[in-house]
């Protein structure tokens, strides 16, 4: 069975893979839910690299329909001659459902990519997802890293559809006669993303997905430059003496001070995940020569900042 998208769409998809440095020897694991976005991804990938492709569906087992949806994708992949695996979490999803499901999903995809010798994992995030994400993070007051939104590549995870609009992907499926899976959670306005999507669809706003893509690419480049500069500064200004981490953050811009502070904290306690406002307060304490404790790290300010494991708390 061969269902070929048009040549323009295929050329754009190939260009996206080339920009992501996917070579002719790389194997690709496609994350396929059965929705129109991921089914369009599968169609494009099947035409581009048919002999180096594996499809994977994650069944979180959160809805009664999910097992049937995975079987639907499996049958579709059989008809296309694409190997397909259904992945289920080792433990039931609990707590923050969206966050826990996302963590479990990527862990399962990583494991499947290893098992099938796949260099990359492709997901079907597209331009409209990107616009929703940047607006959601702008509303939360995110900084440069957060506003760079959905990265085209994060480790071995790649997103070759970020230059495609949702409507284009829906049309690809319709032209191929595919009836995609309908996930009811995509209509649940209790989720922040769905609420943002509903607002974008119902409001006469000036935001465009293609312009948002240019903005996020520029912010991602700025973020990479800041990471590079932080790495260099850390090599010059952070040292370890007698079990105490010492940092000279004098005469550098505020954003780089903040990043050096985060680097010091994560060096002393790799598991620390402080919130932005906590970092702001700590930075003020250090700049004014005060001592503070955050998590399990003791921090002493002054001309040179000093970091060490905090003493055990008294019971």
**Tens-digit pLDDT string for the chain (315 aa):** 446 788 899 999 999 999 999 999 999 999 999 999 999 999 999 999 989 999 999 999 888 889 999 999 999 999 999 999 999 988 888 777 778 888 999 999 999 999 999 999 999 999 999 999 999 999 988 889 999 889 999 999 999 999 999 999 999 999 999 989 887 777 778 788 889 999 999 999 999 998 998 999 999 999 999 999 999 999 999 999 999 999 999 999 999 999 999 999 999 999 998 888 899 999 999 999 999 999 999 999 999 999 999 987 765
Q: Are 219 and 142 contacting, i.e. CB atoms less than 8 angstroms apart? A: no
Helix (H, G, I), strand (E, B) or coil at 298: strand
Residue 94: both structure tokens together: 């609990």
Domain 7-127+149-208 has CATH 1.10.3720.10: no
Distance CA 301, CA 285 (A): 7
Residue 35: both structure tokens together: 């929705």
With a CB cutoff of 8 Å and minimum separation 6, the contacts of 142 are none
Domain locations in the chain as residue ranges: 7-127+149-208, 242-309
With a CB cutoff of 8 Å and minimum separation 6, the contacts of 235 are none
Fold of 242-309: 3.30.465
Distance CA 145, CA 185 (A): 28
Helix (H, G, I), strand (E, B) or coil at 312: coil
Element (H, E) at 87: strand 84-87
Cβ neighbours around 96 below 10 Å, total: 10
155: alpha, beta or left, given left = phi > 0 and alpha = psi -120 to 50?
A: left
Backbone angles phi, psi at 77, to 5 degrees: -65, -40
Largest CA distance in the chain: 70
Q: Are 286 and 280 contacting, i.e. CB atoms less than 8 angstroms apart? A: no
């Amino acid at each position: 069975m061969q269902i070929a998208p048009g040549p323009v769409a295929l050329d754009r998809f190939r260009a996206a893979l080339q920009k992501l440095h996917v070579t002719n020897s790389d194997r690709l694991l496609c994350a396929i839910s059965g929705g129109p976005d991921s089914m369009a991804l599968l169609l494009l990938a099947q035409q581009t690299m048919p002999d180096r492709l594996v499809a994977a569906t994650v069944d979180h087992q959160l809805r009664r329909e999910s097992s049937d949806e995975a079987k639907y994708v499996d049958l579709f992949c059989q008809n296309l001659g694409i190997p397909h695996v259904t992945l289920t979490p080792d433990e039931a999803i609990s707590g923050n459902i969206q966050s826990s499901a996302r963590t479990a999903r990527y862990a399962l995809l990583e494991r499947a990519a290893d098992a099938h010798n796949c260099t990359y994992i492709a997901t079907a995030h597209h331009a409209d997802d990107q616009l929703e994400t940047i607006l959601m993070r702008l509303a939360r007051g995110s900084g440069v890293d957060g506003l760079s939104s959905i990265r085209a590549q994060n480790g071995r995870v790649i997103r070759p559809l970020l230059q495609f609009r949702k409507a284009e992907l829906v049309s690809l499926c319709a032209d191929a006669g595919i009836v995609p899976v309908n996930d009811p959670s995509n209509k649940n306005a209790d989720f922040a993303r769905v609420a943002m999507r509903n607002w974008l669809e119902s409001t006469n706003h000036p935001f465009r997905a293609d312009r948002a893509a240019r903005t996020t690419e520029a912010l991602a480049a700025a973020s990479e430059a800041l990471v590079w500069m932080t790495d260099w500064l850390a090599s010059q200004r952070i040292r370890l003496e007698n079990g105490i981490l010492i940092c000279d953050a004098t005469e550098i811009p505020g954003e780089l001070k903040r990043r050096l502070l985060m680097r010091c904290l994560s060096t002393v306690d790799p598991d620390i995940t402080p919130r932005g406002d906590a970092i702001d307060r700590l930075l003020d304490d250090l700049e004014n020569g005060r001592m503070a404790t955050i998590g399990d790290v003791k921090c002493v300010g002054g001309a040179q900042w000093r970091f060490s494991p905090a003493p055990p708390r008294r019971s």
